[in-house]
């Protein structure tokens, strides 16, 4: 009898010890109020999930720029799956903290609050990074008051649900995590769609893929087995989006709307015996080049202007374009406008954004910025006039008249279809840099200089150009032909190539009347 009592006592002690240890483990995994992390390139401070599979913290995405994010912590590339401040990275010294009132907040070094969780003060008792990749803020009874799964960025994870009117936004590019040009959403009417947006505004343009489930789709559920189902309100499966079979416990998984507008289901083997790396299991649409039309994007197609769309085995849109933005700058002219020939218009944007968009687009030669509207225009400019707003004329920083005529323009093949952009060096002149008002009329002034045999005025300070005035004259004459008001007078680009190479004689050009203000 005594031995039974002793055995019972031992069992009770073991249960008590186990309970205490579990309680300590749970406590150690939870993030207490007043906890914080500071953005620092040399800091490894994070809030990890129990298994260490996911981490929450401030990840440096470019030198001195940090995102408040969640990522796969055990993978070499630390793949991001969520971010709170994707459109506004914060600098070194910024802090994320779980305040004494229970608000999760991101504060920059000036003490400005960049982002905060939407929770009632005094309700949150702790935060926890879960092994599902979900960050939760919970009460003292463990009720979830806020979770990152309810505000996805461009990624869904296993066990995550996309509800009606929830949205995934693509990233702008592979390295720029700000919101891009595409959306994936379960609409209020139950239709699951991929949509182009009127970037940088949030207005929808056109759907380029649809589940065709109007009035029936209720939730998109990412099953941890690898099946992603669209379900009805009664819980029955309406249709599978992707069905990759049983993947639970074998692969890390994520569903991502990528910067090229393609929705992809990625898997990464968990076994150390397998080759590491993400691979595409499935994707929609099957051909993004055909799915997205030019007018869906406000012009330019899925890859933008001066590019062509090339489909890979993963449905990937390889953007065949390169623009050396660092080689260009802008000359400013106040109160001047060329009101026609806009090929792209962006509303409610900052001037800095407008400048960068033009620098990154090899078609853009001029932008007019007025009242937070950015008008992008190609060569040649026509019907210029005095008007409100700011004209920003893109020019090369090395002051050369033109790119090497033997070098293909960005985004073009070096073949017979190659083209050369001819830019008058007069565009380098600020309006206030010239004494004679007539000289400020850019190309008109360049024509006057040519007529009067004073081409050296166009390249003042450019010794390289002044050392070869014969070549300079060829370039200027060719440029004047290319900007004629009458399109029928403009030479074909094949002829322009021969003119620039000196293989044919450049005739004397007429006055380009269209450039007179």
pLDDT tens per residue across span 243-275: 877 777 789 999 999 998 999 999 999 988 888
- The number of beta carbons lying within 10 Å of the beta carbon of residue 90 is 23
Percent of the chain with pLDDT over 70: 76
pLDDT digits over 153-168, tens only? 999 999 999 999 999 9
Q: Is 9 part of a structural domain of the chain? A: no
Q: Is 19 part of a structural domain of the chain? A: no
CATH code at position 169 = 2.90.10.10
Q: Among all chains, which residue has been given the structure tokens 């000359």?
A: 331
Q: Among all chains, which residue has been given the structure tokens 């609050």?
A: 113
Find the largest Cα–Cα distance for the chain.
Answer: 122
Is 392 in the same domain as 453? no
Q: Is 20 part of a structural domain of the chain? A: no
Q: Among the three residues 362, 379, 397, which one is the final residue of a domain in this structure?
A: 397
Is 172 in the same domain as 119? no
Per-residue pLDDT for 319 more than 70?
A: no
**Tokens, residue 196:** 């182009």
CA 49 to chain centre: 29
CATH code at position 373 = 3.50.4.10
In order of 129, 267, 287, the CA distances from 74 in angstroms are: 14, 14, 33
Q: Give the residue numbers spanning the domain of 459.
A: 401-517
Rounded Cα–Cα distance for residues 123 and 134 (Å): 19
Spatial contact of 312 and 318, defined as CB atoms under 8 Å apart: yes
Is 329 in the same domain as 388? yes
| Residue 507's pLDDT band (cuts 50, 70, 90) | confident
Is 343 in the same domain as 421? no
pLDDT digits over 480-497, tens only? 888 877 666 777 665 776
Rounded Cα–Cα distance for residues 480 and 358 (Å): 23
Q: Among the three residues 318, 336, 367, which one is the final residue of a domain in this structure?
A: 318
The pLDDT value given to residue 410 = 35
Is 197 in the same domain as 289? yes
pLDDT digits over 125-145, tens only? 999 999 999 999 999 999 999
Q: Is 8 part of a structural domain of the chain? A: no
In order of 160, 163, 215, 230, 238, the CA distances from 233 in angstroms are: 17, 11, 10, 10, 10
Q: Is 77 part of a structural domain of the chain? A: yes
Number of domains in the chain: 4
Is 182 in the same domain as 296? yes
The pLDDT value given to residue 398 = 64
| Residue 417's pLDDT band (cuts 50, 70, 90) | very low
pLDDT mean over 181-194: 94
Is 225 in the same domain as 163? yes
User: Which of 251-265, 331-345, 374-388, 408-422 has the largest mean confidence?
Assistant: 251-265
Mean per-residue pLDDT of the chain: 79
Q: Write a three-state SS string for 94-130.
A: CEEEECCCCCEEEECCCCCEEEECCCCCCCCCEEEEC
pLDDT mean over 366-395: 85
Spatial contact of 389 and 368, defined as CB atoms under 8 Å apart: yes
Q: Return the higher-pLDDT residue of 380 and 399.
A: 380
Q: Among all chains, which residue has been given the structure tokens 């920003």?
A: 392
Percent of the chain with pLDDT over 90: 39
Q: Nearest to residue 433, comparing CAs of 331, 335, 514?
A: 331
The pTM of the full predicted model, rounded to 2 decimals, is 0.64
Q: Write a three-state SS string for 315-363.
A: CCEEECCCCCHHHEEEEEEEEEECCCCCCEEEECCCHHHHHHHHHCCCC
> Which of 52-61, 129-138, 422-431 has the weakest average pLDDT?
422-431
Q: Among the three residues 301, 318, 335, which one is the final residue of a domain in this structure?
A: 318
Is 80 in the same domain as 199? no
The DSSP bridge partners found for residue 391 are 333, 368
Is 87 in the same domain as 110? yes
Q: Among all chains, which residue has been given the structure tokens 């309700």?
A: 123
Q: Return the higher-pLDDT residue of 16 and 168.
A: 168
The pLDDT value given to residue 56 = 98
Q: Is 11 part of a structural domain of the chain? A: no
DSSP E strand stretches across 133-284: 135-138, 144-147, 155-156, 161-163, 167-171, 179-186, 192-197, 204-210, 219-222, 227-231, 237-243, 251-257, 263-269, 279-284
Is 218 in the same domain as 268? yes
CA 98 to chain centre: 29
Q: Is 75 part of a structural domain of the chain? A: yes
Q: Nearest to residue 56, comparing CAs of 161, 131, 146?
A: 131
pLDDT mean over 429-457: 60
pLDDT digits over 266-302, tens only? 999 998 888 889 999 999 998 888 888 766 555 556 6
Is 286 in the same domain as 359? no
Rounded Cα–Cα distance for residues 379 and 114 (Å): 40
Is 87 in the same domain as 120? yes
Q: Which residues contact 219 (CB under 8 A, 6 or more apart)?
A: 161, 162, 163, 164, 186, 230, 231
The pLDDT value given to residue 322 = 45
Q: Is 7 part of a structural domain of the chain? A: no
Q: Return the higher-pLDDT residue of 305 and 335.
A: 335
**Tokens, residue 20:** 């205490």
């Amino acid at each position: 009898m005594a031995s039974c009592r002793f055995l019972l006592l031992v069992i009770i002690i073991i249960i008590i010890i186990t309970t205490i240890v579990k309680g300590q483990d749970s406590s150690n995994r939870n993030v207490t109020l007043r906890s914080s992390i500071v953005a620092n390139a040399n800091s490894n401070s994070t809030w990890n999930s129990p298994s260490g599979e996911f981490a929450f913290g401030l990840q440096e995405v470019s030198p001195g720029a940090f995102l408040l994010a969640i990522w796969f912590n055990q993978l070499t590339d630390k793949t991001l799956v969520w971010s709170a401040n994707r459109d506004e990275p914060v600098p070194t010294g910024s802090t994320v903290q779980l305040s004494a009132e229970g608000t999760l907040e991101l504060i920059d070094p000036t003490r400005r609050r960049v982002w905060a969780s939407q929770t009632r003060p005094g309700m949150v008792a702790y935060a926890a990074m879960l092994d599902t990749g979900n960050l939760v803020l919970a009460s003292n009874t463990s009720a979830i008051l806020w979770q990152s799964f309810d505000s996805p960025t461009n990624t869904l994870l296993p066990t995550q649900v996309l509800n009606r009117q929830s949205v995934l936004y693509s990233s702008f590019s592979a390295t720029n995590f700000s919101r891009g040009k595409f959306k994936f959403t379960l609409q209020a009417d139950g239709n699951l769609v991929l949509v182009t947006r009127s970037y940088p505004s949030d207005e929808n343009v056109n759907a380029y893929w649809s589940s065709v489930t109007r009035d029936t789709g209720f939730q998109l559920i990412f099953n941890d087995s690898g099946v992603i189902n669209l379900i009805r309100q009664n819980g029955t499966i309406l249709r599978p989006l992707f069905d990759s079979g049983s993947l639970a416990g074998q692969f890390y998984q994520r569903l991502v709307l990528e910067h090229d507008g393609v929705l992809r289901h990625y898997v990464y083997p968990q076994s150390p015996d397998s080759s590491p790396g993400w691979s595409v299991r499935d994707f929609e649409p099957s051909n993004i080049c055909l799915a997205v039309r030019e007018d869906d994007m406000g012009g330019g197609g899925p890859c933008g202007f001066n590019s062509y769309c090339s489909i890979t085995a993963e449905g990937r849109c390889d953007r065949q374009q390169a623009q050396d933005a660092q080689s260009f700058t802008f000359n400013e002219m106040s109160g001047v406008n060329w009101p026609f020939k806009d090929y792209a218009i962006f509303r409610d944007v900052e001037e800095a954004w407008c400048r960068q968009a033009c620098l990154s687009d090899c078609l853009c030669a001029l932008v007019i910025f007025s009242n937070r509207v950015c008008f992008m225009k190609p060569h040649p400019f026509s019907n210029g006039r005095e008007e409100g707003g700011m004209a920003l004329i893109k020019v090369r920083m090395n002051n050369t008249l033109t790119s090497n005529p033997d070098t293909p323009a960005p985004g073009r093949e070096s073949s017979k279809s190659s083209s050369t952009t001819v830019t008058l060096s007069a565009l380098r002149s600020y309006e206030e840099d010239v004494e004679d008002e007539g000289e400020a009329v850019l190309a008109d002034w360049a024509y006057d200089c040519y007529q009067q045999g004073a081409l050296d005025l166009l390249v003042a300070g450019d010794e390289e150009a002044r050392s070869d005035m014969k070549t300079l004259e060829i370039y200027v004459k060719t440029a004047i032909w290319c900007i004629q008001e009458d399109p029928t007078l403009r030479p074909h680009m094949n002829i322009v190539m021969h003119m620039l190479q000196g293989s044919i004689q450049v005739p004397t050009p007429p006055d380009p009347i269209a450039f007179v203000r």
